[in-house]
Amino acid sequence: MSQTEIKASSATLDRAAPYAFKKTMKPSTIIRWTLLFMGGILMIMPIVYLLSTSFKWSHEIYNLQIIPDEPTLDNYSFVLEDGRFYNWFFNSLIVAVSTTVSAVIFDSLVGYTLCKFKFKGKTFVFIAILSTLMIPTEMLIIPWYTMAVEFGWINSYWGIMFPGMMTAFGTFLMKQFFESVPDEFLEAARIDGLNEFQIWWSVAMPMVTPALSALAIFIFLGNWTAFIWPLIVTNDPQLYTLPVGLTTFSVEQSVEWELIMTGAALATIPTLIVFLVFQRYIIRGVVMTGLKG
Amino acid sequence: MNLYRRLSIKQKQVVWAWAFLALPVLFYVVIRFYPTFGSVLLSFQEWNLLGSRTWIGLDNYTLLFNDPVFWKVFNNTFIYLLLGTPVSLLISFIIAYNLDKVNFLHATIRALYFIPFMTSAVAMAWLWRWFYQPVPVGLFNNFLSSAGIPQLPFLKSTFSALPSVLAPAIWAGLGFQIIIFMAGLRAIPQSYYEAAQIDGVGPWTVLKEITIPLLKPTIVFLVVFSSIGFLRIFDHVFNMTTNDPGGPLNSTKPMVLMIYDTAFNAFDMGYAAAQTVVLFTILLLVSLLQLWIMRERT
């Protein structure tokens, strides 16, 4: 799919298709809308029950009511009391932000180099990087683990982060997007006496900011919810990320479902807020990465 | 510096290119390629993480292919794939196709479908695990009993455990597929629909002759993407069966959970590495097969 098509399709994404703009309100349109709306309500029902249960007393969780009879914040104060959730939240934030910054910078640097420079071995490097996309993470986990043990990276932020510092997917994506940056701009900057690093950073990068933010959203979300690798590389509860911490916490609580739901709600609420605020950008980002990838 | 000045513009470009690539090349070699070959080599060795590694040839593979648990797990993995991919794609296509035609509160309805995609699999796995609990705890069985329908065992029966684990994975992935389908639908040129309208073609024919054929690139992408996802299912299974890893009689155990158990509970690293090599081969074959099938159908 070409650049312009993607721009067009993501620009019109907030509305229905143009051919839906007929003013006639046919009964079929009303039925379609109603069914879609009910389906949408059904889709978020699990999350509604998650939030609702986190405000219920333990004797009320058997109740099917969404609004609790006597709402309580006790679950939250119990879960947050020992400070572990703050700790895990902070760890997840550090890990996800650092990985995202690193991957976005390096992926666009490599994508730019492979797109705009001419040198021997370029195709080889590109194909080599692309070929790593076929290797599932699970295959690398055991060697990563032995590497982490050997270098003492177990129970450290670096240990959680190092596998994701660059991504082949992002490199491929950014290479595609840099194709749309005209060479004349780079040439003009070269004549103005900028060095190649400055050209990349201050001329080319600003021209692909929508792509950069799309990639950043995708990588951040992936790292924020990452589970198997943080589970393996950490065994000190101080260094757990939010998903790993949530697993341990839930296993501990075993049958205290209102507390487990509160923990799960604490892990869910931040992403919900982020989504509601940046909805348009997130959906556009998903479309851009999805269609290019 | 003097040396650099004497280079031609083209040579300077080469220097810059490799300067930019130096760190990334090192990264890909050390963090991607070296571990890949490391895993393949390890699959021919026996190693418990502490002692020394011994070469045992193909023993890990013969052990694996004679292991009834492996075949059970192999089966499960494919059931996740063969159930998950068609079901989720069908649902998301139906929703995307209709949502595309609806204008009133379009963005709001879209958000309702997309929100589950933003959640973490761990949180949702525990949420659904609560839903599946027997009366009086679990939400689903409470609904059933208030409607006078007998309870369902969900995670507790070998028959229903796997679909019960799969359901939240499908649910959470729908939002992504719907968004991609809708973008694909938008990319179909209007002129096709206008021509169909002039010819007076019915909506079913339009769907069959225009929409679906022109949507093929999107369908191929989503089929491959979601298949890989279902073949690698782990987070949901791990969290929904912590008390009985892999469900009753291993009925929910996928390959990645078997790998995790072999490596990090039994510390049989060589055996686990052999399993990862098999997983890699399956992923590769399934992707190639799907690309080939999709290419044939034009």
Residue B58 lies in a domain: no
Residue B220 lies in a domain: yes
Which pLDDT value is given to residue B227? 93
Dist. CA B165–CA A78, nearest whole Å: 29
B41: nearest CA in chain A?
A143
Dist. CA A157–CA A48, nearest whole Å: 33
Which pLDDT value is given to residue B6? 80
Domain match, B38 and B84 both = no
Report the number of distinct structural domains present in chain B.
2
Residue B54 lies in a domain: no
CA nearest neighbour of A218 among A144, A273, A289? A289
Using the beta-carbon criterion (under 8 Å), do B106 and A15 form an inter-chain contact?
yes
Dist. CA B100–CA B111, nearest whole Å: 13
The answer to whether the CB of A52 falls within 8 A of the CB of A270 is no
Distance between start and end Cα atoms, chain B: 58
Predicted model pTM: 0.90
Percentage of residues in chain B having pLDDT higher than 70: 98
Domain match, B120 and B20 both = no
Residue by residue, DSSP assigns A89-129 as: HHHHHHHHHHHHHHHHHHHHHHHHHHHH---TTHHHHHHHH
Measured between beta carbons, which residues in chain B are less than 8 angstroms from residue A8? Answer: 186
pLDDT digits (tens, 9 = 90+) for B35-85: 999 999 999 999 998 888 999 999 999 999 999 999 999 999 999 999 999
For residue B112, give the nearest of A40, A135, A149 by CB distance.
A40
Which pLDDT value is given to residue A281? 86
The H or E element containing residue B55 is strand B54-55
Q: Could you count the other beta carbons within 10 Å of the beta carbon of residue A279?
A: 18
Domain match, B76 and B112 both = yes
Q: Could you count the other beta carbons within 10 Å of the beta carbon of residue B228?
A: 17
Tokens for A14? 């907030």
CA nearest neighbour of B45 among B63, B19, B18? B63
Domain match, B18 and B98 both = no
Domain match, B82 and B26 both = no
Using the beta-carbon criterion (under 8 Å), do A261 and B183 form an inter-chain contact?
no
Vertex B116: Cα angle to A48 and B208 (nearest 5): 125
pLDDT digits (tens, 9 = 90+) for B154-202: 998 889 999 999 999 999 999 999 999 999 998 889 888 888 888 888 8
Residue B141 lies in a domain: yes
For residue B186, give the nearest of A9, A29, A149 by CB distance.
A9
The yes-or-no verdict on residue B297 having pLDDT over 90 is: no
Measured between beta carbons, which residues in chain B are less than 8 angstroms from residue A287? Answer: 179-180, 183
Which pLDDT value is given to residue A17? 59
Which pLDDT value is given to residue A70? 87
Which pLDDT value is given to residue A19? 53
Domain match, B125 and B21 both = no
Report ipTM (2 d.p.). 0.91
Dist. CA B85–CA B229, nearest whole Å: 9
Dist. CA B244–CA A171, nearest whole Å: 40
Tokens for A156? 């450290």
Domains of chain A, each with CATH number or no CATH: 19-72 (no CATH), 82-292 (1.10.3720.10)
Using the beta-carbon criterion (under 8 Å), do A228 and B98 form an inter-chain contact?
no
Domain match, B6 and B84 both = no
Residue B56 lies in a domain: no
Q: Could you count the other beta carbons within 10 Å of the beta carbon of residue B42?
A: 24
pLDDT digits (tens, 9 = 90+) for B247-286: 888 999 999 999 999 999 999 999 999 999 999 999 999 9
Residue B69 lies in a domain: yes
Domain match, B131 and B278 both = yes
For residue B118, give the nearest of A15, A132, A275 by CB distance.
A275
Residue B217 lies in a domain: yes
Vertex A226: Cα angle to B163 and B156 (nearest 5): 25
The DSSP bridge partners found for residue B45 are B55
For residue A246, give the nearest of B14, B122, B179 by CB distance.
B122
Give the 3-state secondary structure of residue A240.
Answer: coil
Confidence of residue B296 (pLDDT cuts 50, 70, 90): low
CATH number at residue B237: 1.10.3720.10
Q: Tell me which residue range forms the domain holding B97.
A: 63-296
Domain match, B254 and B219 both = yes
Which pLDDT value is given to residue A175? 94
Distance from the A74 Cα atom to the nearest Cα atom in chain B, whole angstroms? 19
Contacts of B5 (CB under 8 A, 6+ apart): none
Vertex A163: Cα angle to A157 and A167 (nearest 5): 125
Tell me, yes or no, if B204 comes closer than 8 A to chain A by beta carbon: no
Domain match, B17 and B67 both = no
Residue B134 lies in a domain: yes
Q: Per-residue pLDDT for chain A (293 aa), expressed as one digit of tens each? A: 344 444 444 445 555 555 554 555 678 888 999 999 999 999 999 999 999 999 999 888 888 888 888 899 999 999 999 899 999 999 999 999 999 999 999 999 999 999 999 999 999 999 999 999 889 999 999 999 999 999 999 999 999 999 999 999 999 999 999 999 999 999 999 999 899 999 999 999 999 998 999 899 889 999 999 999 999 999 999 999 999 999 999 999 888 899 999 999 999 999 899 899 888 888 888 888 777 65
